[in-house]
Amino acid sequence: MLRRRLRRLFGGDEKRVGSRTICVGCRSSLTTEAFLQQAFCDNRIVSSKYTVWNFLPKNLFEQFRRIANFYFLIIFLVQVIVDTPTSPVTSGLPLFFVITVTAIKQGYEDWLRHKADNEVNKYLVTVVEDGQRVRKESEKIKVGDIVEVLEDETFPCDLILLQSSRDDDTCFVTTASLDGESNHKTHYTVPDTEKEVELLNATIECEQPQPDLYKFVGRMQIHKDSQDAMRSLGPENLLLKGATLKNTKKIYGVAVYTGMETKMALNYQGKSQKRSAVEKSINAFLIVYLFLLVGKALVCTTLKYVWQSRPGQDEPWYNPKTVKERESNLYLKMFTDFLSFMVLFNFIIPVSMYVTVEMQKFLGSFFITWDKDFFDTEIQEGALVNTSDLNEELGQVEYVFTDKTGTLTQNNMEFIECCIDGFQYKYRESQAELDGFSVTDGPIYKVQEKAGREMEDLFLRALCLCHTVQVKESQLAEVDGDQIDSVSGGQCGFIASSPDEVALVKGAMKYGFSFLGLECKNMKILNRDNDVEVYELLHVLNFDPVRRRMSVIVKSKTGETLLFCKGADSSMFPRVRSEEVDRIQVHVQRNAKEGYRTLCVAYKQLSTEEYVQVDASLREARLALEDREEKLAAAYNRVETGMTLIGATAVEDRLQEQAAETMEALQSAGMKVWVLTGDKMETAKSTCYASRLFQQGTELLELTVRTLEEGGRPREERLLQLLQEYRAKTQCHPVGKGVNHRSWSSAGQDYGLIVDGATLSLVLNASPETDSSRYKSLFLTICQSCTSVLCCRMAPLQKAQIVRMVKNSKGNPITLSVGDGANDVSMILEAHVGIGIKGKEGRQAVRNSDYAIPKLKHLKKLLLAHGHLYYVRIAHLVQYFFYKNLCFILPQFLYQFYCGYSQQPLYDAAYLTMYNICFTSMPILAYSLFEQHICIEILLDSPTLYRQTAKNALLRWGPFSYWTLLGIFHGLLFFFGAFFLFSNPALLPTGQVFGNWAFGTVVFTVLVFTVTLKLALDTRHWTWINHFVIWGSLSFYIVFSFFWGGIIWPFLEQQRLYFVFANMLSSVSAWLAIVLLILLSLLPEVLLLVLRRPRGPRVRQMRRRLPSSGTSAIFMLSQTSSSHSFSWSD
């Protein structure tokens, strides 16, 4: 990385601006002109964050960027340097503990990343060097090396396919770790290469690395016998790092992109430390309390010197100054006094809060892991928590970004029915009548033939021929999980680039036509008369998102040349006769409403002259070096006209269990769901309908390549026109923030947006002549006005760009990404919260996620129950900590007005140290772990409750001001109540006078009891642990005070509380004052709870559903039999 930056700095990379030139086998073949060998990066993958040398300084720098850590470091240094009223241990020890634990945690996580990198970099591969096959580590591969890859091995870098062991010069790969698709894709060798790759003499010129997985432009110049042959290179020749070789014994390829320049690495989003909204709120509150602290210190310092300026106050007769004190600098002494006051009031910002928050997050994360509802019997695993820092963020999600394949769906296509010449054929065991059409059941040949034998055979023959499916013989191993019935005595597995193609071939098998395979360009099928038909495959017109159809041109044994085509209804109907459309369209519309993926099937017979013209135009377009895609599209469009419509198919991509219910619950909770997928638009749209993200009443707005090309204008102009048009339309019926019309309002029009990757690139990366920020602003406005957004044909990095765009939009909404494949890693890392699904696409998403769950359905409970409760708990914890410490320090501040601003502590040093560590820490920790202000069943049944705490509602300035005012009220009451009691200090029967330490002990006793009982009043869910820590903490305070003041400790230079606590409790007046002050402090809280009794039918319904016992569904803790009280805001 450093070397690359230095080369760029000193001009070494100037030739790499536009393209790169690569000598195959690292042999320069440019002998006629001077050639400067370009320098490329090595093949190492680096995902780690630290090294052994920079871990300590880098980690400390990152930790002390937190305001709290830096503040406590300064306070600790002040306590060490300046003579302050408190010991440096009170600040240094908790700070050291927090820094050490965090460093160990982050160091361990980075060690795991180093370990994973080494597994990849040290993996042994075979490289052809000087005619020899050499085994070397993957990280040592250089650009230009010829690499050998065997079946089921992963490609170690981006390769151009030179040679394949298959007879048809193709190979099959799976790209599950790149785009989430587990289906097999076909790649082709470069034509006219040498059979022996060691003898190949060629040069490749290609584009510089870029992250788009679906684009690649280059050309290869092959040198043969003083003759040069130029061959174009495209995505079909490029094998991507991370993909796996399938159904091919061996291939050879030349490395074109290595290491961090591979497309997979360019799509990898570096892992950064995520911070929750609660932590940001803590920092904001901390700044307010810092100003309070500085203000108190300034006031006390100023008043001290004002008071000392009076005659006789600066140097009283009983306390004369020393010579050193008289000669000391006045301003230095003022500054030292200011620092001493800062340290004295420092406890208003307790470091123990950060320790408690860390413990709450760490211990609370176990409850997600232990939740039995998250356990999946199929994989025998439960939920996994990779980071505990974001528990409360689960309760604040506003946008959910989900992958489709393997997340929303099972990626398991099933043939449901077909329509032939207007007649419906449904493979079911029982007969039925649908839409007035006859339904045939079972194989066609067993029932009355409705569409005519010839038309049925033609339709089924089209299903068996119009595809890119391959058949693989297998005895033991399954291919893609698909096992089919015996065909011609052997057990076969189907592999294809799309699962719906396999479903259609299997559907044809149900009706008597079986595809036997492709051998040497000959396709064999077994018809229902058990005769084998052989067709020569002449051309494959591949599917693309603009045409939305694919075709094959085949030649039968009788010499007929046929074109079979299948595609989306919108792309097929304009290319067939209108009278044929009417018979099929009814079935297509009904199937689409049911959420099925529909495809129409057509055919065309080509004459010899027509085929010669088609063949010439296709070959010419495929050899073009410029505008190849446009020329191919034009050739495809010319031949795919005047076809005859045969029928249509309906295929179902099964949704994950309870996927629709989960999406509906999330939308009811106020979240907006976006689907980001690399799949085709038609498939993704059907899935959105099936999962209820799109409804039949939803008006779909489309921003795709097809809509951009409709107006006949430049794409950017057409894009701006559509954006302005859609914005005007959506603003007429805006969707309120957090509101989903179809969930709880019948008014308004629902809008859904569909955008593809190419259009998104135009929006995010507009040309310099246009205002890109305007495009983004319009696009975001439209998206925020839609109930759901579908982004299809997305590259992994584009998914992350979408998430980043929404995350950085106005209001900084909390985002969540959920996916199951390595192609989802970028968006998982980019979102505030990343969820990995333990699916079939490997565990890359799980390893890089913050939380991992077995199924999508578990997301509902994770957010609506766990997330909601975690947020409420930690919000209460944060507010309570600031409140109780304000109560703690305010009397200390007021006391300075009565002690001559001498920095005299009101409390004993033991009380100062133990208050946050022992006396008040455990009750709030238990509360933040076990509190359930609403039971889990109600939270799951009423998703709208999630919206009550949205947008950080409990940590806004309103609740913060309430808690601050409450702390000020209690602090004033503690101090002046005790001050009123001590107006006559002779409180003992003997007439003995109480001193300042007894006064401080009375204030401290009222303080400890009040803040603890305040928490008891806030508790709605009592467990035996809550009882134990609350009453145990109060008992421990009493026992400790007796113990601390009842023994003469030899290690103490002075013992201020000797028998003070015992003497205080021997006074009836002190007892009365303590009890009265506690009751007066809690009286407003009790009155508020009584007067704010919840009302309404919803509350009565919830009360009827309250659990009769105190058993928690999650924690499985034995509890007391005390009844539970619940409260809700009106």
pLDDT tens digits, residue range 325-382?
666 667 788 888 888 888 888 778 777 777 788 788 888 888 888 888 888 887 778 8
**Residue 1123 reports pLDDT greater than 60:** no
Per-residue pLDDT at 554: 92
Per-residue pLDDT at 5: 43
Mean pLDDT of 1021-1046: 87
Which residues on adjacent β-strands are paired with residue 171?
187
Burial string for 1087-1117 (b: 16+ CB within 10 Å, else e) reads: eeeeeeeeeeeeeeebeeeeeeebebebbee
pLDDT single digits (tens) 1068-1100: 778 888 889 999 989 988 888 788 765 543 444
Token representation of residue 565? 């085509």
Amino acid at 911: Y
CA of residue 464 relative to chain centroid, distance: 40
Mean pLDDT of 389-415: 83
DSSP structural state of residue 590:
H
Sequence-ordered list of residues with C-beta below 8 angstroms from that of 986, at least 6 positions apart, any chain: 992, 993, 994
Per-residue pLDDT at 327: 64
Pairing of strands 549-556, 561-567: antiparallel
Pairing of strands 399-402, 672-676: parallel
pLDDT single digits (tens) 598-642: 889 999 999 988 899 988 888 787 766 567 778 888 888 889 988
Mean pLDDT of 176-181: 63
**Residue 112 reports pLDDT greater than 70:** yes
**Residue 424 reports pLDDT greater than 80:** yes
pTM of the model: 0.70
Q: 254-258, 384-388, 733-737, 1015-1019: which has the minimum mean pLDDT?
A: 733-737
Q: Which of 659, 746, 625 is nearest to 697 (CA)?
A: 746
Sequence-ordered list of residues with C-beta below 8 angstroms from that of 1018, at least 6 positions apart, any chain: 876, 880, 927
Say if CB 602 and CB 644 are below 8 A apart: yes
The C-alpha atoms of residue 573 and residue 745 are separated, in whole angstroms, by 37
Per-residue pLDDT at 316: 66
pLDDT single digits (tens) 267-294: 765 555 677 778 788 888 888 888 888 8
Q: How confident is the model at residue 254 (pLDDT cuts 50, 70, 90)?
A: very high
Say if CB 681 and CB 755 are below 8 A apart: no
Per-residue pLDDT at 41: 86
Q: Give me the chain's average pLDDT, please.
A: 78
Mean pLDDT comparison of 196-200, 749-753, 879-883, highest-scoring range: 879-883
Say if CB 264 and CB 159 are below 8 A apart: no
Higher pLDDT, 1115 or 992: 992
Where do we find the tokens 């440096």? 88
For residue 9, count other CB atoms closer than 10 A to its CB: 9
Mean pLDDT of 643-647: 91
Per-residue pLDDT at 990: 62
Q: What positions carry a catalytic annotation?
A: 403
Q: 136-140, 409-413, 1110-1114: which has the minimum mean pLDDT?
A: 1110-1114
Token representation of residue 953? 């509602």
Amino acid at 364: G
**Residue 225 reports pLDDT greater than 80:** no
pLDDT single digits (tens) 30-79: 444 444 556 788 888 887 888 888 889 988 888 887 777 787 888 888 87
Residue 159, phi then psi, degrees to nearest 5 = -120, 145
Alpha carbons within 13 A on the beta-carbon side of 634: 12
774 SS3 class: helix
**Residue 746 reports pLDDT greater than 50:** no
Question: Could you tell me what percent of the chain has a pLDDT over 90?
Answer: 10
**Residue 500 reports pLDDT greater than 60:** yes
Higher pLDDT, 975 or 479: 975
Pairing of strands 19-23, 492-495: unpaired
**Residue 391 reports pLDDT greater than 70:** yes
Per-residue pLDDT at 434: 34
Q: How confident is the model at residue 680 (pLDDT cuts 50, 70, 90)?
A: low
Say if CB 240 and CB 262 are below 8 A apart: yes
Strands annotated E in 838-940: 851-853
CA dihedral 986, 987, 991, 993 (to 10 degrees): -50
Mean pLDDT of 199-218: 83
- Burial class from Cβ neighbours inside 10 Å (0-12, 13-18, 19+) for residue 885 reads buried
Mean pLDDT comparison of 432-436, 744-748, 1007-1011, highest-scoring range: 1007-1011
The C-alpha atoms of residue 674 and residue 783 are separated, in whole angstroms, by 9
Give me the helices (H) in 897-1020, please: 909-914, 921-930, 936-941, 957-981, 996-1018
**Residue 840 reports pLDDT greater than 70:** no
